[in-house]
Amino acid sequence: MRCDIISIFPEYLEPLKLSLPGQAQRKGLLDVAVHDLRDFSHDRHRTVDDTPYGGGAGMVMKPQPWWEALEHVRTLGDGTPTLIVPGPGGEVLTQRLARELADEDWLIFACGRYEGIDERVYEAAADVMPVRVISLGDYVLNGGEVAVLAMIEAAARLLPGFMGNAESLVEESHEDGLLEYPVYTKPATWQGREVPPVLLSGDHGKVAAWRHQQRLERTAARRPDLLHASSALTPGGVDDRW
């Protein structure tokens, strides 16, 4: 997977060099390139924003630097990339959407700032590549960079070979529509609190049954909205969301 990220704060994306994303890059599973939008502005102040037509508070990101940046990035890879624009007005990131992103060979992320990017950039981009606006949730950030870190992590960790142990992806929250079960490690007693005895029983069937029940109870308590669609509730049933 290739990820190109365009931002006026390239340093925000430094964490992608760390830990698993960094290892994935060194393994060749993930190629990440960060581009400074201001490199595509031609005035001496490297301006990328201006006042909004129609008035209103704040500034809007100018179309020309964005278009030049996108056109430059599009020359760097093979095939057609998908443009991802993080924003509160987009489809909400889910595990299913993370899998869709993980299936893409090439993603370009446009990190908006201020009041957003001139709408004509979305229109022009859609003439040459798929464009998706994706939100982390129903809240507003100051820009897209934090969201891009989350989106790349959510997608890249699903790439074969990214996680050292692929088993750790099984029974994670949201994989089958249920939240994950509680986990425990040594010591068996801590501050007078015991590990559930079933986990010390050595009976794998009972452990599996207990864990599934815990997932159902947690999902019912914390995310009842997920319960109706979960494939885990209909043994053998197929959840069409994946």
Ligand X SMILES: NC(=S)c1ccno1
What's the rounded Cα separation, in Å, for the pair 106 and 4?
A: 8
Q: What is the DSSP letter of 117?
A: B
Window of 14-22, 62-70, 136-144, 178-186 that interacts with ligand X by CB under 6 A:
136-144
Q: Per rule CB under 6 A, is residue 76 in the interface with ligand X?
A: no
| Minimum distance, C-beta of residue 126 to ligand X, in the bound complex (Å) | 19
Any residues with CB less than 8 A from the CB of 195 and at least 6 apart, and which? 184, 188, 189
Binding mask 140-169 for ligand X (x = CB under 6 A): xx-xx--x----------------------
| Minimum distance, C-beta of residue 107 to ligand X, in the bound complex (Å) | 15
Among 63, 88, 153, 216, binds ligand X (CB under 6 A): 88
Among 21, 65, 81, 87, binds ligand X (CB under 6 A): 87
124 or 150: whose CB is closer to ligand X?
150
Helices (H), ranges, the chain: 19-27, 63-74, 95-102, 119-126, 145-156, 204-222, 224-227
Q: What backbone phi and psi angles, to 5 degrees, belong to 104?
A: -80, 145
What's the rounded Cα separation, in Å, for the pair 19 and 30?
A: 13
Contact residues: ligand X, CB under 6 A = 86-88, 135-137, 139-141, 143-144, 147
